[in-house]
Structure 1
């Protein structure tokens, strides 16, 4: 008779994980994701940020990074969840509230965005981008004097913050105050020669009031910088009002402007877009 074998159960080997090393790897991944995001490589950055949040779950900046990337990919529910997690870790980080404001703004929850931006500004009262974003939320709610007040505060904190000047010009134009709108856009262009948005707005305003040659020249220059501004829907997303859109539509149909649009154009990040 064969001998019975003595069976022995396999003792599992327990892998000892070094929490400190894992967190370090997570932060390294987050840094890599942030660098990719800077180069608009959001689809590559997002999975790295997700993994980083698992490896370094106690770091509010990692969750903030993930939330910001989710906003860019319009995963708003996920973004808000990530940002709430970041806020639970560090309630004193004003940037988290600004990001929550952006998520609500892009979902057209403007009143909720106002609250987020106001709360963020309690923590970072002199943040020009936070002031600007609050101005945009007021703008969308039709609270134009409040919007202008926030834009003015943004410029007082950063004299070179041309997007705020640009948006005051947008309000001036819709209110029929063309001379003030022109002054604002001229100031914005002086601050940044490559800012296509105020340059195009200035071109349209000058052309419409009769300064046709300068208007056409500036319009050609603006569209060479960034041809996206020839898209009326894109302009509307950037808070251009009905009066300016109507005048811009006529301007874009001009033969010289149509010809300029056939030329190769570079693409720059709009300073106006409400997504930060």
Structure 2
């Protein structure tokens, strides 16, 4: 799971955006004399509004504010970072990369911008470029669990599986509650035919977070194939009720499920009990 590509799943506005309070944007009377500081304050106020709207996925409202903010405060890397993050969440990758590169040109030492550039390239399937950005981000911000996880995902997609596992293990060692890292080790184990090891990874993931639908479904699929069918069906029903997106094979593929697991998941998801759970 790329979270999961910050995939996954990418959260730019809540934890990463921090600006001093500024006045809200408003129509300026023509007679008012503006200076650079006033303009920047207007931009920061708009950026705050855009950040708040972005938290609620209201990109149609957030993006125009962020774009205007970048014009009013063109030398502020956080404003460009916000704009790039909003474009990234809206899946406009070219615009995201352009804004993030602008932020990087203003402040090359901002690791969050570098990680975001990695995410944008990852989602465009430019995995080598993504890995390079993640490596640079980790140089600036070492021992970052999510950065290590993201680098592991890039290595995963490049077929560098031992290196991917090493990054996932580093990520999990730094944050023992970050179950996506060991979940993805399970995905690799399963594709390599080591089903027992995959099951152990997913069991650990579920023990960390009972509401984690992905490892719960993966565990159900694996156990069903081992003949533990009643237990597996109960777990599968619970997983799709938690999050129905995991009943979509395309979504599973986006979360790095391999061909072996996808094939087994397809058969499992077609079972009458699982279909009934999806209809409830």
Please state which band the TM-score falls in when normalised by the shorter chain: 0.7 to 0.9
1:133 maps to 150
Matched, 1:149 2:166: yes
- Of the three residues 50, 75, 79, the one matched with 1:33 is 50
Cα distance in 2 for residues equivalent to 1:25 and 1:157: 40
Cα distance in 2 for residues equivalent to 1:40 and 1:186: 32
Matched, 1:189 2:201: no
**CA offset at residue 42 of structure 1?**
2.3
TM-score normalised by length of structure 1:
0.88
- Of the three residues 212, 229, 253, the one matched with 1:212 is 229
| Unmatched segments (≥5 aa) in structure 2 | 1-29
Q: Deviations over 1:213-258 (max 9, x none)?
A: 1100110001001111111011001100011001101101111001
**Which has the larger Rg?**
1
Matched, 1:246 2:263: yes
Q: Deviations over 1:110-146 (max 9, x none)?
A: 1111111100100011111111111111000000001
1:113 maps to 130
**CA offset at residue 15 of structure 1?**
5.2
2:86 maps to 69
- Of the three residues 85, 97, 101, the one matched with 2:102 is 85
1:237 maps to 254
Cα distance in 2 for residues equivalent to 1:196 and 1:44: 31
TM-score normalised by length of structure 2:
0.86
2:61 maps to 44
Count of aligned pairs:
251
Q: Indicate the structure whose relative CO is greater, using CA pairs within 8 Å and at least 6 residues apart.
A: 2
**CA offset at residue 61 of structure 1?**
1.1
- Of the three residues 218, 240, 243, the one matched with 1:223 is 240
Q: CA RMSD in A?
A: 1.3
Q: Deviations over 1:135-175 (max 9, x none)?
A: 11100000000111111111111111111111111001101
- Of the three residues 6, 23, 36, the one matched with 2:40 is 23
